[in-house]
Amino acid sequence: MIKITINRERCKGCSLCIPFCPKGLLKPSESLNSSGYHPVEVVRPDECTGCAACAKMCPDLAIKIIKEE
């Protein structure tokens, strides 16, 4: 089982990760974090393959992929 987590407070809303998701699952959320940024969110987490392309691109290490047996 794949679980993707995005740390809303770490994310600065730069959108760098968005085009790297081959399934188009990332988009800026409508709400703001405490720094005033729109952190990204996963629109259909059940479709995430855990490829980690997004996590590798994030300069702020805001995205984590957890693979559970």
Chain residues binding ligand SF4 by CB under 6 A are 4, 6, 11-17, 20-21, 23, 25-26, 39-40, 42, 48-54, 57-58, 60, 62-63, 65
Residue type, 30: E
Nearest approach in angstroms of CB 52 to ligand SF4 is 5
Burial of 44 (0-12, 13-18, 19+ CB in 10 A): exposed
Helices (H), 1-69: 53-57
Task: Return the number of the residue (62 or 69) whose C-beta is nearest ligand SF4.
Answer: 62
Nearest approach in angstroms of CB 55 to ligand SF4 is 6
